[in-house]
Structure 1
Amino acid sequence: MEENKFDYKQFIGFGLLALIGVFWINSMQPTEEEVAAQEEAEKAKTEQVTTETANPKADAIQETTVDLTDSIQAAKYKSNVGAFSYNVGKVSLDDVTTIENQVLSLKISNKGGQIVEAHIKGQIVKGEFEELKTYDSLPVYLVKDGNASFGINLTTADNRLLSTKDLPFEPTYTENGDSKVLSMKLKVAADKYLEYRYEMKDDYMVDFTVRSQGLNGVVNVSQPVNMEWKLKSFRHAKSVTYENRYTDLHYEYDDGKDSYLGQAEDEEKVNDVTWLGYKQHFFSSILLTDTAFKTATLSTNNIVDSEMAEKDVKFLKEFGATIPLELKGGELNYNMDIYNGPTDYDTLTAYDRNLDEIVPLGWGIFGWINRFFLIPLFGLLSAFLPAGIAIVVMTILVRLLLSPVTYKSYLSQAKMKVIRPEITEINEKYKDDAMKKQQETMKLYGKAGVSPMAGCIPALMQIPVFYALFMFFPSAFELRQKSFLWAEDLSSYDTIYQFPEGWSIPLYGDHISLFPILASIAIFFYMRMTTGQQMMSQQPTQEGMPDMSKMMKYMMYFSPLMMLFFFNNYASGLSLYYFVSNLITIGIMLVIKNYIIDEEKIHAKIEENKKKPKKQNRFQKKMQEMMEQAEAQKKANKK
């Protein structure tokens, strides 16, 4: 048996353990600062220090108890925040203050003095309150459960990097008539503080002031002071894909210009920003400032995965803004506003701050048609009609307004149909001479008073109206939660059949919508009528040229199919419009064909025009001369 011997290595090891134990015990003893903090905390606990917290619903004062009662924790917290430790031990970080009116409720936390809950309760429609809900009948929240943060990052005189979103603000709530004011102060001393001041009246806009007093010398003015605002947008609609398409970041800059960040991940630095808005399709959070931010770094990040099941989606996009603030005399002073409310054109326009630009109505003429015609027209109709009926009536009025254009297009096609035999004869006669064929065809058009472009121009004139309507319906807040026939919500897709869980057709979806089917059928019959008329009016296909009749036949089947797939996830109000619009157009064309246009009279008129001397304008004369010169050059080359 081996004899045990003294091992000096073990002795050294045990000695080190003993030293570590002694050091650990000594380090756990509270410092003088910690002992003082413990005494202060115990005194605060005994006296039940309270602070008034407003509750507008009950018009009562709630007690706010101290939550930093642990001595070591309080001391370390004070040590970390340094000069801004005045509120520590006096203000509970867990408490919130509620300010609200009829349409909006905000909860502001003592921690960071920031909005931790923004609930859009409803809207005033025709003088009455109308509650707003999500697609699954839940309250509409823009901020809740930590999806947003707001704070100012600064450097103190002793070079501590602090973020106000983590610091305790002291609340003071007052009411003055319809105005509710909440002052949140982060104090260095009783007369030295950073203040967030919220003033709510009777709408969605809240006056928001950021100012400081006595911080000159407390804040390191040589270091940047950055305001950061982040938000993850909640899902509110039935279709994640559809809602995400209209969820983006908008901003105004450079004295009235506006722009936005696209759908993909993006980051952009802009100058002279006067407002920026996080739009969540039908709802928006907007920060406005009276003093333009010299620079702002804006970012958007798409959270939604294209393969993610729609039922599992909670957030759509993550928005962010970093804005350097200017210190004047070592102090902050910014008068701002915060809007949390509907992305409604009329509501945003009423503020006269160019906020209506956040509503995607289209650029140029498309936006003008929406602003000055479609929005006022629909607003007038929906004032006394249900939304679905208002869409039908508006569709009838738009189609009647465009009926002269439809008549001109159909008349041009009828004229081309009448002279088609003569065009065929010219093509046969000059089939080996393309230049001569073109000359004789142009002569025939001139004599008959027919223009092949006359049928295209009216159709092109309708495109701005169609595109404006395409932009109007997805952005019309008035359609949200409005039902019609089997459609529960005209701002979302209608469903007549839901596929079993896990089933989905690529590009189509996991459901069947009826309005797109009806619209596709109406488009098919409309295109069948117009395609047949256009084929009769088209010139015979020339050798080496594509067969237009075949292309038209393909379009007759392709367009309804595209409509069926594309609009299955779109707003049912838009599909309803196209369905009714095509039915009315078919009816107008049948009336024009059977009761207005007489092809025999058209033929007689064309023959009469042929006998009259046709005076060419300068352009026609120039074209004629060029064609004759080209033909002469061709003959000269052959010799």
Structure 2
Amino acid sequence: MEEKKFDLNSLIGFVLLGAIMIYYFYTNQPTPEQIEQRRAEQVQDSINQLSNESESSKAIEPAEFTQAPVNPSDTLAFEQAKNRLGIFAYSAGLPSATDSETIIENELVQIKVANKGGQITEVLLKNYKTFNKLPLFIIKDQNASFNMSFATQDNRNLQTKDLYFEPTLTSNGENQVLSMKLKVSSNQYLEYRYELKPDDYMLDFAVRTQGMESAINTSQAINLDWQLKSFRTEKSVKYENQYTDLRYLENGTFEYMNAMSDEDEEDVNDVNWIAFKQQFFTSVLLAEDKFESAKLISKNLVKNEDTDTVYTKQYQALIPLQAKNGELAYNMNMYYGPVDYAVLSQYKGKQMDRIVSLGWGIFRWINKYVFIPVFSVLSSFIGSFGIVIILMTIVVRIIMSPVVYKSYLSSAKMKVLRPEMQEINDKWKGKENAMKRQQETMALQRKAGVNPLSGCIPALIQMPVFFALFRFFPANIDIRQHGFLWADDLSAYDEVLKLPFKIPFYGDHVSLFPILASVAIFFYMQMTQSQQMNMQQPQQEGMPDMQKMMKMMMWFSPIMMMFFFNSYASSLSLYYFVSNLLTIAIMLVIKHFILDEDKIHAQIQENKKRPEKKKSAFRQRLDEAMKQAQEQQERQKRGR
């Protein structure tokens, strides 16, 4: 009887204890906000873990096989594979567990995909060569890696680069379709699906799983690690490296990483695409629905520009992938091809044309809507790109000639007024009369209808054109490996002499087009020196000697250009050479055949006789401010 009572009391105690535990868990369950915060922390932890794994091992180095092909009849070997891989040992016993590759290709590109890792191991661009005329590969000799790391349900950590996929090559109309499946049974697998269209550099790419909830622990992030070491493909390592950088589109906003930084890292969110860009070629991974987050890394491998290096940059993108309902389903695209504005702009809505380095703001606008169309029209019926550049220069100079005329006209007017401005300086000498001197000078210019700023404005208008072209030619793949005169490649420097030594900031070679451009700039500046001096007011007390400064610039600018452009694209130097020659010719025509200083002088005298026009509100405020300053100055004088 006593034993039964003990059992009843124990039962009541267990029931009460269970009720207390249920109440405790119910009242302490996390809120939706806490669940979302924990999920975000888990994603970030996955990124950090993957980043640490990447730092602890050399990127893109061939790893030791953790899975070897296994004959299913070899019971011992298969058991050993199961001990290492668990359920994923199934793939090691398939006939596809060999180091074989499958080729998909079209007219433009040939792509090899390996059974091991299911990843692309070779990309050949058929219509391009390297600077030394070798086949141009974006991926080859293990310079790239596309790897997914994940946890299994039996607490193993595996990587796809070490596992064997089963290839199936089919067609979808004219498209080639390659399915790479990492199997754990006949109907359970992780699949990479590649689809290549005819005459296209873009691959449709998908990552998905089927029935893998029992194999992969999808409660943890599946980490994608995409890496690439970009090959050197151009003649000048230094020049190419300046235009080799990592670019990405974050939530519709274009961003890029510093090309010259030794190492740069960015944590980004809502990523549309990531581009591992070379100067003229690029590898791009695009997400249909954006990657929620990513860690991007760019390392500079060109430590010394004199080194005959194989690689320029090392790129890495660490991307956590999230399973939905226990399965992965990511639709993506891969682009392996040229950085060609005409090609990239065809992919509507993706903003891939931003991969082309056309500059920012107004410079990019000028390139997109002026220089690219003009260049395309001219090159469509002219075979020589050197002639196209010359004709393009002529078009630009003709369009800008009214600006040159305006500048020269303003210079001529100021030249006519210089004697009268000198009289004002002589009349109002000394620092104490500086304000009065300025007022008298402005009054004279206003009566004569001369605006000293009108000569500066044309120069400012030409600056956007200068900087736009500075971006246009290095980004123009059309001129790559096309020669003109002694230059065998307009996208590279035109070496005419190899030096047995290196000159600091210049290099170990002599390029001729930069020398010609520098000579043309020297004569252009010599011609415009007097014009620029005319735009200046007569020398005043306390002012630096402008003439000496002008002479220094006349020598310094050409020398600087000769050094700066020695390793730059010869197309850029060709443009500046022809441009300055044409500008000199236009200036001579304006000076000797269009402008008449006697007529300008007569017109100014006529303007001075006319009643002064009503001042603008701005002019009134300026004059009032100067008047008050003058009065204050006079009061200070009297107070002494």
Deviation at 1:624?
A: 1.8
Which residue in the other structure is 1:76 paired with? 80
CA–CA distance in 1 between the matches of 2:637 and 2:466?
52
Partner deviation per Cα, 1:211-232 (whole Å, 9 max, x = no partner) = 0000112111222211110000
Q: Secondary structure at the match of 1:490?
A: coil
8 Å CA contact 2:69, 2:92 repeated in 1: no
CA 1:526/1:165 → structure 2, altered by over 3 Å: closer, same or farther? same
Partner deviation per Cα, 1:51-99 (whole Å, 9 max, x = no partner) = xxxxxxxxxxxxxxx9546886665344222111112132233110011
CA–CA distance in 1 between the matches of 2:540 and 2:87?
87
Which residue in the other structure is 1:462 paired with? 462
Which residue in the other structure is 1:629 paired with? 628
CA–CA distance in 2 between the matches of 1:72 and 1:545?
94
CA–CA distance in 1 between the matches of 2:634 and 2:172?
94
CA–CA distance in 2 between the matches of 1:96 and 1:73?
24
CA–CA distance in 2 between the matches of 1:226 and 1:631?
73
Match of 1:108 among 96, 105, 113: 113
8 Å CA contact 1:78, 1:88 repeated in 2: no
Listed as ranges, the matches of 1:349-388 within 5 Å are 349-352=345-348, 353-385=350-382, 386-388=384-386
8 Å CA contact 2:411, 2:532 repeated in 1: yes
When structure 1 is superposed on structure 2, of 322-331 and 532-541 the one drifting more is 532-541
CA–CA distance in 2 between the matches of 1:472 and 1:285?
21
CA 1:93/1:510 → structure 2, altered by over 3 Å: closer, same or farther? farther
1:164 counterpart = 2:164: no
When structure 1 is superposed on structure 2, of 625-634 and 342-351 the one drifting more is 625-634
Which residue in the other structure is 1:54 paired with? none
CA–CA distance in 1 between the matches of 2:185 and 2:418?
93
Query: Once the two structures are aligned, what percentage of the paired residues are identical?
Result: 56
Which residue in the other structure is 2:399 paired with? 401
Listed as ranges, the matches of 1:140-539 within 5 Å are 140-202=136-198, 203-254=200-251, 256-263=252-259, 264=261, 265-306=263-304, 309-311=306-308, 313-352=309-348, 353-385=350-382, 386-432=384-430, 433-500=433-500, 503-539=501-537
CA 1:547/1:76 → structure 2, altered by over 3 Å: closer, same or farther? farther
CA–CA distance in 1 between the matches of 2:85 and 2:69?
16
AA in 2 matched with 1:190: S
Q: Secondary structure at the match of 1:455?
A: helix
Which residue in the other structure is 2:571 paired with? 573
CA–CA distance in 2 between the matches of 1:637 and 1:490?
65
Deviation at 1:536?
A: 3.5
Two-structure CA RMSD over aligned residues (Å): 1.4
CA–CA distance in 1 between the matches of 2:494 and 2:78?
57
CA–CA distance in 1 between the matches of 2:341 and 2:83?
50
Partner deviation per Cα, 1:112-145 (whole Å, 9 max, x = no partner) = 00000011111xxxxxxxxx10000001111000
Deviation at 1:621?
A: 2.1
8 Å CA contact 1:250, 1:276 repeated in 2: yes
CA–CA distance in 2 between the matches of 1:277 and 1:524?
41
CA–CA distance in 1 between the matches of 2:168 and 2:467?
51
8 Å CA contact 1:304, 1:317 repeated in 2: yes
Which residue in the other structure is 1:24 paired with? none
AA in 1 matched with 2:389: I
CA–CA distance in 1 between the matches of 2:81 and 2:472?
53
Which residue in the other structure is 1:610 paired with? 608
Q: Secondary structure at the match of 2:502?
A: coil
Length-normalised TM-score, structure 2? 0.86
Q: Secondary structure at the match of 1:268?
A: strand
CA–CA distance in 2 between the matches of 1:379 and 1:223?
51
Partner deviation per Cα, 1:496-518 (whole Å, 9 max, x = no partner) = 11123xx2111111111111011
CA 1:71/1:571 → structure 2, altered by over 3 Å: closer, same or farther? farther
Length-normalised TM-score, structure 1? 0.86
Which residue in the other structure is 1:138 paired with? 134
CA 1:400/1:243 → structure 2, altered by over 3 Å: closer, same or farther? same
Q: Secondary structure at the match of 2:354?
A: helix
CA 1:430/1:108 → structure 2, altered by over 3 Å: closer, same or farther? same
Which structure has the highest helix share of the two? 2
CA 1:408/1:71 → structure 2, altered by over 3 Å: closer, same or farther? farther
Match of 1:92 among 83, 89, 97: 97
CA–CA distance in 1 between the matches of 2:481 and 2:312?
21
CA–CA distance in 1 between the matches of 2:78 and 2:523?
77
CA–CA distance in 1 between the matches of 2:407 and 2:557?
20
CA–CA distance in 1 between the matches of 2:379 and 2:84?
58
Which residue in the other structure is 1:10 paired with? none
Q: Secondary structure at the match of 1:86?
A: helix
CA–CA distance in 2 between the matches of 1:302 and 1:562?
27
Structure 1: 5+ residue runs without aligned partners?
1-65, 123-131
8 Å CA contact 1:217, 1:330 repeated in 2: no
8 Å CA contact 1:205, 1:338 repeated in 2: yes
8 Å CA contact 1:196, 1:208 repeated in 2: yes
8 Å CA contact 1:522, 1:583 repeated in 2: yes
Structure 2: 5+ residue runs without aligned partners?
1-67
8 Å CA contact 1:301, 1:317 repeated in 2: yes
Q: Secondary structure at the match of 1:186?
A: strand
AA in 1 matched with 2:156: R
Q: Secondary structure at the match of 2:91?
A: coil
CA–CA distance in 1 between the matches of 2:393 and 2:77?
67
Deviation at 1:531?
A: 1.1
Q: Secondary structure at the match of 2:90?
A: coil
CA–CA distance in 1 between the matches of 2:215 and 2:78?
21
Give the count of matched residue pairs: 560
CA 1:207/1:391 → structure 2, altered by over 3 Å: closer, same or farther? same
